[in-house]
Amino acid sequence: MRSRDSFSLTGGAADWRAAGLRYHSLNHFFTGKFGRRVWKVSIDGRFGCPNADGTVATGGCIFCNIRSFSPSRRLRTASITEQLAQGTQRLEQRHGVDHFIAYFQPATNTYAPVDRLRSLWEEAVGFPGVVGLAVGTRPDCVPDEVLDLLEAFSARTWVCVEYGLQTIHDRWLDWMNRGHHYDAFLDAVERTRRRGIDIGAHVILGLPGQTREEILATAREVARLRLHSVKLHNLYAVRNTPLADQVLAGEVVLPQRDEYVGYVADFLELLPPECVIDRLSGEAPPEYLVAPQWCLDKQAVRSAIEKELKRRDSWQGKRFDLST
Query: What was the pLDDT predicted at 15?
Result: 86
pTM of the model as a whole: 0.92
Please check whether residue 214 is in contact with residue 167, taking contact to mean a CB–CB distance below 8 angstroms: yes
3-state secondary structure the chain: CCCCCCCCCCCCCCCCCCCCCCCCEHHHHHHHHHCCCCEEEEECCCCCCCCCECCCCECCCCCCCHHHHCHHHHCCCCCHHHHHHHHHHHHHHHHCCCCEEEEECCCCCCCCCHHHHHHHHHHHHCCCCEEEEEEEECCCCCCHHHHHHHHHHHCCCEEEEEEEEECCCHHHHHHHCCCCCHHHHHHHHHHHHCCCCEEEEEEEECCCCCCHHHHHHHHHHHHHHCCCEEEEEECCEECCCHHHHHHHCCCCCCCCHHHHHHHHHHHHHHCCCCCEEEECCCCCCCCCEEECHHHHCHHHHHHHHHHHHHHHCCCCCCCCCCCC
Nearest residue to 23 via CA among 317, 316, 321, 320: 316
Give the residue extent of every domain in the chain.
Answer: 1-22+200-319, 38-164+179-196
Provide φ and ψ at 312, rounded to 5°.
Answer: -80, -10
Measured from the Cβ of residue 113, the count of other Cβ atoms closer than 10 Å reads 10
**Residuewise pLDDT in 10s, the chain (324 residues):** 433 333 333 433 448 999 999 999 999 999 999 999 999 999 999 999 999 898 988 888 999 986 655 554 445 568 999 999 999 999 999 999 999 999 999 999 999 999 999 999 999 999 999 999 999 999 999 999 999 999 999 999 999 999 999 999 999 999 999 999 999 999 999 999 999 999 999 999 999 999 999 999 999 999 999 999 999 999 999 999 999 999 999 999 999 999 999 999 999 999 999 999 999 999 999 999 999 999 999 999 999 999 999 999 999 999 998 776
Provide φ and ψ at 42, rounded to 5°.
Answer: -70, 135
Query: What was the pLDDT predicted at 234?
Result: 97
Query: What was the pLDDT predicted at 267?
Result: 98
